[in-house]
C-alpha cells in the first residue's frame, strides 16, 4: 500500500511538472502594423442640360454664350470621390453643322466650373484644367462659347457634340 | 495482501507509462528562455499606406502598387538581450479587405520583410545593410547582434542578481505590394500585419 502511494506521488509530481512547463512561455513581444489603401471609384460625367441658343436674323455676325451668366449654357456634373483632384480636358472648338450639311459654323468653347451648382460664381477654365471635387464629390461645368461666321447663315437646325475627358490625377 | 500490492504496483506502472505516452517528449524540453530575465520591446514606426506611393488607386485599373524597401517603408525597432538569438514571425493576410472581404471587397496583398542586426542606431543607417527575406518566408531566427568578423564571443554571462545583460537593437522593415486592383468597390482597404518576436 505504501508503494502504491509512492507511485501515486511520483505520478502527481510528474504531471505537475509537465503542466507547469506548458503554462510558461519564453519572453515574447508582439507588434502590429497596418497596411492600407484607399481605392477610388469611377468618375462619372452627367449631362444636366444641353447647350441651346437661338440665332435670329437680327443677331450680329458673332455670338457669344457666356458660361458664367448665360442661362442657355450647357451644364455638366462630374461625380467622383470627395475632395479628389481630376483633370478636365476638352476640345477647343467644334464644327456646328447644318441639318442638311450645307453649312458649317465654327464654335469655340468656353467652360466655367464650380464645386457648387451656382453658375454665377463659377470660374473660367482653360483647355486642361485640374479641379478638385467638392467634399460631396461633385463639380459642375457650364459650357458656353463663341460662334462666328454668321454672315452667311441659313435657317435651320445646327448640331454638334462636345467631348470632355475627366480623369483622376495620379 | 501481497497479491493486492502486486496488482497496485502493476497498475501504478501502467498509469505512469500512460502519462508519459500522452505527453511524448514534453518532459525532455529544456527551454532556456524560461530563465531569462531580459525583456523584448518592440516599437513600431510608420504605416504601410499605399496611397503614399500612389495617391490615387483606381478600381478596375489592374494596377499593382509596390512599396519597396527603399521607399518610406514602416519598421519595427526590436530591443533585447544582445547575446541571444531571436525568432521573428511575420503574419500577414493574403488580401487587404473592406468589411468582411470576399469578391469585390478584397485586393491581393503580399508582405515582405527585411532585417538589420548590425547594431545600427538609426533606421536609415540600418536600411542600408538590411537583409531582405525572400517572399514566402514568414519566420526567421537571427542573433540580436551579428558578429561581423573574428572568433565567436565567449558564452554569455548567466543571469544573476543585479546583472543586466547588454542590449542590442534589431530593425525589421516591412514592405510589399498591393494588387492587381480589379473590379472592387471603392473604400479604404486594410490588412493587419502581426509581428511576434521571442528568444
Chain A's closest residue to B39, CA to CA, is A27
Q: What is the pLDDT of residue B37?
A: 46
Using DSSP's 3-state secondary structure scheme, residue A97 falls into strand
ipTM above 0.95, yes or no: no
Per-domain boundaries in chain A: 4-169
In Å, how far from its chain's centre is CA B96? 19
Q: Test B59 with A39 for CB contact under 8 angstroms.
A: yes
What does the longest C-alpha to C-alpha distance in chain B come to?
Answer: 88
Q: What is the pLDDT of residue A14?
A: 44
| pLDDT above 70 coverage of chain A, percent | 82
Q: pLDDT tens across A63-114, in order?
A: 889 999 999 999 999 998 888 888 999 888 888 888 887 777 888 999 999 9
Q: Is residue B72, in this structure, part of any structural domain at all?
A: yes
Number of domains in chain B: 1
Q: Is residue B137, in this structure, part of any structural domain at all?
A: yes
Task: Report the alpha-carbon distance of residue B54 to residue A114 in Å, rounded.
Answer: 27
Radius of gyration for chain A, computed over Cα atoms and rounded to the nearest angstrom: 36
CA–CA min distance B155, chain A (Å): 20
Q: For residue A26, what pLDDT band results from cuts at 50, 70 and 90?
A: low
CA–CA min distance B141, chain A (Å): 14
Q: What is the pLDDT of residue B93?
A: 95
Interface test with A, best of B174, B186, B188, B199 (most A CBs within 10 A): B186
Asked if the C-beta of B26 comes within 8 angstroms of chain A's C-beta atoms, the answer is: yes
Question: CA geometry: angle at B182 spanning B111 and B47, to 5°?
Answer: 35
Chain A's closest residue to B32, CA to CA, is A26
Task: Report the alpha-carbon distance of residue B78 to residue B88 in Å, rounded.
Answer: 10
User: Which grid coordinates belong to A29?
Assistant: 513581444
> For A25, what's the count of Cα atoms within 13 Å in the CB-facing half-sphere?
6
Q: pLDDT tens across A127-151, in order?
A: 778 999 998 889 999 999 988 877 7
Q: Test B31 with A21 for CB contact under 8 angstroms.
A: yes
Task: Report the alpha-carbon distance of residue B126 to residue B118 in Å, rounded.
Answer: 8
Q: pLDDT tens across B24-77, in order?
A: 444 555 444 444 445 899 999 999 999 999 888 888 888 999 999 999 999 999
pTM of the model: 0.62
Residues of chain B with pLDDT under 70: 1-38
Q: What is the pLDDT of residue B147?
A: 76
Q: Is residue B153, in this structure, part of any structural domain at all?
A: no
Expressed as residue numbers, the domain containing B124 is 5-148+165-198
- Bridge partners, B198 (sequence order): A28, B87
In Å, how far from its chain's centre is CA B76? 10
Asked if the C-beta of B91 comes within 8 angstroms of chain A's C-beta atoms, the answer is: no
Task: Report the alpha-carbon distance of residue A166 to residue A44 in Å, rounded.
Answer: 8
Q: Is residue B70, in this structure, part of any structural domain at all?
A: yes
Q: What is the pLDDT of residue A41?
A: 80
CA–CA min distance B136, chain A (Å): 18
Amino acid at each position: 500500500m505504501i508503494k502504491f502511494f509512492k507511485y501515486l506521488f511520483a505520478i502527481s509530481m510528474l504531471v505537475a511538472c509537465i503542466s507547469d512547463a506548458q503554462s510558461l512561455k519564453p519572453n515574447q513581444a508582439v507588434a502590429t502594423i497596418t497596411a492600407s489603401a484607399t481605392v477610388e471609384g469611377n468618375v462619372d460625367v452627367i449631362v444636366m442640360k444641353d447647350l441651346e441658343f437661338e440665332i435670329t436674323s437680327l443677331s450680329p455676325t458673332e455670338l457669344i454664350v457666356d458660361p458664367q451668366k448665360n442661362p442657355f449654357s450647357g451644364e455638366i456634373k462630374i461625380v467622383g470621390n470627395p475632395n479628389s483632384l481630376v483633370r478636365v480636358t476638352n476640345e477647343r472648338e467644334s464644327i456646328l453643322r447644318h441639318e442638311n450639311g450645307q453649312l458649317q459654323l465654327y464654335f469655340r468653347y468656353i467652360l466655367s466650373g464650380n464645386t457648387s451648382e451656382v453658375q454665377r460664381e463659377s470660374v473660367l477654365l482653360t483647355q486642361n484644367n485640374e479641379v478638385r471635387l467638392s467634399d460631396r464629390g461633385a463639380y459642375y461645368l457650364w459650357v458656353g462659347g463663341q460662334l462666328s461666321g454668321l454672315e452667311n447663315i441659313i435657317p435651320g437646325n445646327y448640331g454638334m457634340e462636345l467631348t470632355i475627358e475627366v480623369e483622376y490625377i495620379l | 495482501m501481497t497479491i493486492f500490492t502486486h496488482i497496485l504496483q502493476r497498475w501504478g506502472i501502467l498509469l505512469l507509462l500512460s502519462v508519459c505516452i500522452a505527453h511524448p517528449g514534453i518532459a525532455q524540453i529544456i527551454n532556456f528562455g524560461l530563465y531569462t530575465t531580459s525583456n523584448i520591446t518592440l516599437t513600431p514606426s510608420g504605416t504601410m499606406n499605399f496611397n503614399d506611393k500612389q495617391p490615387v488607386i483606381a478600381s478596375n485599373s489592374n494596377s499593382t502598387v509596390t512599396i519597396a524597401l527603399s521607399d518610406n517603408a514602416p519598421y519595427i525597432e526590436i530591443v533585447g538581450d544582445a547575446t541571444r538569438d531571436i525568432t521573428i514571425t511575420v503574419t500577414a493576410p493574403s488580401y487587404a479587405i473592406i468589411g468582411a472581404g470576399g469578391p469585390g471587397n478584397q485586393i491581393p496583398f503580399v508582405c515582405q520583410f527585411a532585417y538589420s542586426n548590425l547594431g545600427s542606431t538609426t533606421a536609415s543607417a540600418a536600411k542600408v545593410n538590411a537583409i531582405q527575406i525572400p517572399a514566402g518566408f514568414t519566420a526567421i531566427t537571427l542573433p540580436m547582434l551579428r558578429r561581423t568578423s573574428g572568433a565567436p564571443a565567449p558564452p554569455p554571462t548567466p543571469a544573476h542578481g543585479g546583472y543586466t545583460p547588454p542590449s542590442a537593437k534589431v530593425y525589421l522593415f516591412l514592405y510589399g505590394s498591393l494588387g492587381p486592383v480589379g473590379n472592387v468597390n471603392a473604400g479604404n482597404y486594410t490588412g493587419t500585419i502581426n509581428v511576434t518576436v521571442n528568444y
